[in-house]
Amino acid sequence: MTREELTDLFYNAPTEELTARAGEVCRRVHGPEVLLRGLVEYSNYCPCGCLYCGIRGGNSRVNRYRLTDGEVLASVDAGYERGLRTFVLQGGEDRKFDTDRIARLIGMIKERTKNEAAVTLSCGMKSREEFRTLRDAGGDRYLLRFETSDPELHRYLRDGKTLAERLENLEWIREAGFQRGSGYMTGLPGETDEIRLNNILLCRDLELDMVGIGPFIPHPDTPLGGAEQQGLDHALRGTALLRLALPEAHIPATTAAGSLEPDGREQMIRGGANVLMPNLTGVEYKKDYLLYPGKICLDESGVQCIGCLSMRVKTVDRRLSFARGDAPRLVGAAV
């Protein structure tokens, strides 16, 4: 879809029409299946100061944790036994949980899953060499959301870090050979229609394999705690337009959408999303990884969540898939 067509739809198409079109495209390209990815939140230490983030370094009210290798692997084992074949390692930019340690963990995960499982990394910004190290260790995919395409808003929200640095990291991720994921938050204070459209166009121009949108939910212990909460509409429209712009991309129905509205994830699936991410992190840690308040599924294990997700996707005429779910451009090729 061209930039002009996307721009026209962005400004003129009603949400119902957009989500119906996107749902059809999703079904045609990905079938009725919703891919599962098992999430492990390995550390909530982060020295960064992103204004919207509940685990930002400046929030002294967070109970900090760092999983042991054994705890990470136990979560992976539980998911693998249940049939999951993608694991997402996610954490703050914790200097003590460094690249060498993540690389070692990738090797251990590959070994115990007999190389069947894909490993996705969501470990923040790295150097060019570090991305290569993680890819050489067997990492399959890397997620790094740019959060907003507006350079000034980005610098403000991410405590001085520039959009250009983030985009350079995304280039290094592609260069290292990862399946590449990015995305943004929507409903941020200071966000305009023009920024929302540019977010979508940037995802399209980056030709992402995976793209995620999360609605901004103000966390009371952050500088944006008093900001206005927007509804789910921006995220729904964004998801639908991304599906039309990038038909093959894997797009999650984000937990933030489910936290904002009880059927938020189902709405996103109906309108173009095709991925769900049960959280395999130990229940004793989940409550301490709150990027935003009101996060759902904190008292259930990720494995228990799969049963609930199975029922939820049925309500929108879909079924869960335990496949690895690599980028379609690589299916049939070595990954």
Minimum gap (Å) between residue 92 Cβ and ligand SF4: 4
Candidate residues 92, 214, 272, 302; the one interacting with ligand SF4 per rule CB under 6 A:
92
Q: Residue 75 or 222: which CB sits closer to ligand SF4?
A: 222
Residue 293 interacts with ligand SF4 (CB under 6 A): yes or no: no
Q: Which of 36, 53, 105, 306 binds ligand SF4 (CB under 6 A)?
A: 53
Per DSSP, the chain holds a count of helices (H) and strands (E) of 13, 9
Among 33, 71, 77, 93, binds ligand SF4 (CB under 6 A): 93
Residues 6+ positions from 1 with CB-CB distance below 8 Å: 204, 244, 245
Q: What distance in Å separates the CA atoms of residue 306 and residue 95, rounded to the nearest whole number?
A: 32
Q: State the minimum distance, in angstroms, from the CB of residue 259 to ligand SF4.
A: 16
Contact between 50 and ligand SF4 by CB under 6 A: the answer reads yes
Burial per residue of 28-49, b for 16 or more beta-carbon CB atoms within 10 angstroms, e otherwise: eebeebbbbbbbbbbbbbbebb
CB closer to ligand SF4 out of 22 and 55: 55
Task: Answer yes or no: are the C-beta atoms of 38 and 88 closer than 8 Å.
Answer: yes
Quote the least distance from Cβ 169 to ligand SF4, whole Å.
Answer: 12
Total of residues contacting ligand SF4 (CB under 6 A): 9
* Cβ-based nearer residue to ligand SF4, 55 or 217: 55
Smaller CB distance to ligand SF4: residue 10 or 289? 289
Buried b or exposed e, range 125-157, using 16+ CB within 10 angstroms: bbeeebbebbbebebbbbbbbbbbbbeebbeeb
| Residue 124 touching ligand SF4 (CB under 6 A) | yes
Cβ atoms < 10 Å from Cβ of 214: 23
Question: Minimum Å distance from CB 102 to ligand SF4?
Answer: 15
Binding to ligand SF4 by residue 221, rule CB under 6 A?
A: no
55 scored as a contact of ligand SF4 (CB under 6 A): yes
- Quick check: 183 binds ligand SF4 (CB under 6 A)? no
Q: Where are the alpha helices (DSSP H) in 161-230?
A: 163-176, 193-206
Strand 179-186, strand 210-215: pairing = parallel
Please state, in angstroms and rounded to a whole number, the distance separating the CA atoms of residues 161 and 75.
33
Residue in 48, 201, 298, 335 binding ligand SF4, rule: CB under 6 A: 48
223 part of the interface to ligand SF4, by CB under 6 A: no
Residue with tokens 């045609």: 28
Q: Which stretch binds ligand SF4 (CB under 6 A): 34-42, 46-54, 112-120, 226-234?
A: 46-54
| Nearest distance, CB of residue 296 and ligand SF4, angstroms | 19
Q: What does R_g of the chain's alpha carbons equal in angstroms?
A: 18
The CA distance from 169 to 88, in Å, is 19
**Site residues (CB under 6 A) for ligand SF4?**
46, 48, 50, 53, 55-56, 92-93, 124
